[in-house]
Amino acid sequence: MDPGAVDLGDQATFADQGLDLDGYWRTLRDTAPLHWNPPAGGRRGFWVVSRHEDIMTTYRDDTHFTSERGNVLVTLLGGGDAGAGRMLAVTDGPRHHELRKILQRVLSPRVLDETARAVRANTRQWIREAVESGGCDFADRIAGRIPMTTISKLLGLPERDRDLLLGLTKAALSADHEDGDGVDGAGSDVDSELDSEMARNEILMYFMDVVEERRESPGEDVISLLIDSSVDGVPLSDEDIVLNCYSLIIGGDETSRLTMIDCVRTLADRPEQWRRLKHGEVAVDTAVDEVLRWASPTMHFGRSVVRETELHGVRLRPGEVVTLWHASGNRDERVFARPGEFDLGRTPNKHLAFGYGPHFCVGSYLAKVEIAELLKALRDFTTGFERTGPARRIRSNFLTGFATMPLRFEPDPCGPKEADRG
């Protein structure tokens, strides 16, 4: 495949079902591990890093690269991120370290026991109901509920707002265009970006109102914690808090939701792997890592060059954009044996689904809990499941996955009885 024929800045590239992106990534890793994606469609050009080792090296290097000019293509190519220096994901240096410490106080394994129990109870209830009813659109009924319910509770948001917030988070970084064949339609990138920008603004305005209310009446939730926090003795501003709430609601939903949807699709298509899980032949924690590697829901993150450096003999100059593609790194033959195989027993599994280095996802533990409880509930309540209709892909050059996933479940007559449920 000619790498020059693929434009990673174009959302349509990832909606083209005839395009062999696995072959494209393999070509880049073998022949052009640092590839220039030229300007196109009014977008500036950018560098593409495809090898696992190079991605990790770049993530670790906060001397030559910064996230403060954006960390995804839409902001990297659009002139920067309004949250730079205030939102954890696009803040570097000592301030990033201090913000991260604040959020780790509520997102570390040590303090999330009660949240993990709630995730388990909710997941088992919703899976049991779906199995007893015969089937559902898994993307809507299950995957659309577990992460959003969890992060909303941590933020202290009312239950009545969850559907609104789910719709906004879906639209903020991707589009869901329908057509007759189950694949995203060909809505323009311009229309998609306008819709996404409106959704992002609505999320910010929503949290502006919540922060104002919480200052008047604080509770025991993440927003109240942020209001009561400071960096270098200076309290976080309303804007600081709103931007980090935006990051938490987006991050707390997208990775888990899209990974869950991809998980059931993959298991439905690979009955031998489902049997390994069902019969306890693989550890759930090991299976979770493979599910994350395989789905790679965030296809890339990016950095801007702040100090001249070199990679694979190419000079990278200040101001240039470098994108790091998990979609490729998680299939790198140099790191993963038989990377094109879905193997729930894979170990070690140094996947990049949560990034790497100083910006490693602060919510990774919670995401793993959610996916693990899904696998356990599927194992306990069903003997298997199958797709009953086409699954519609989302449209994005940042996220990958499906907007719909109709499934039929086969109940397990030997599953947990009423007294054992929960």
pLDDT tens for 226-255 read 999 999 999 999 999 999 999 999 999 999
User: Is residue 189 pLDDT above 70, yes or no?
Assistant: no
SS3 386: strand
Looking at residue 278, which CATH number applies to its domain? 1.10.630.10
Q: Please state the domain count of the chain.
A: 1
Per-residue pLDDT tens for 47-73?
999 999 999 999 999 999 999 999 999
Per the DSSP assignment, residues forming a β-bridge with 135 are: 408
Is 420 a domain residue? Answer: no
| Residue whose tokens read 């790679």 | 296
- Distance from C-alpha of 195 to C-alpha of 173, rounded to nearest angstrom: 9
Residue 3 has pLDDT above 90, yes or no: no
Q: What is the mean pLDDT of residues 281-289?
A: 98
Six token digits for residue 227:
């209001």
Q: What is the largest CA-CA distance in the chain?
A: 64
CA distances from 53 to 58, 158, 221, 287, 329 (A): 9, 43, 38, 23, 8
Confidence of residue 417 (pLDDT cuts 50, 70, 90): low
Q: Is residue 395 part of a domain?
A: yes
pLDDT in the model for residue 177: 54
ω into 147 cis (within 30 of 0) = no
Res. 182: pLDDT tops 60: no
* Predicted local confidence at residue 181, as pLDDT: 40
Confidence of residue 188 (pLDDT cuts 50, 70, 90): low
pLDDT over threshold 80, residue 265: yes
Tell me, yes or no, whether 422 lies in a domain.
no
Residue 126: name the closest of 109, 153, 148 by CA.
148
pLDDT in tens, 19-48: 899 999 999 999 999 999 999 999 999 999
* DSSP labels, 71-138: SSHHHHTTT--TTTTTSGGG--HHHHHHHHHHHHHHHSGGG-HHHHHHHHHHHHHHHHHHHHHSEEEH
pLDDT at 184 over 50: no
Contact 62, 302 (CB under 8 A): no
**pLDDT in the model for residue 203:** 98
- On whether residue 41 sits in a domain, the answer given is yes
Mean pLDDT, rounded, for 272-291: 98
Q: Closest by alpha carbon to 264, among 351, 363, 382, 167?
A: 382
Domain that holds residue 360: 3-415
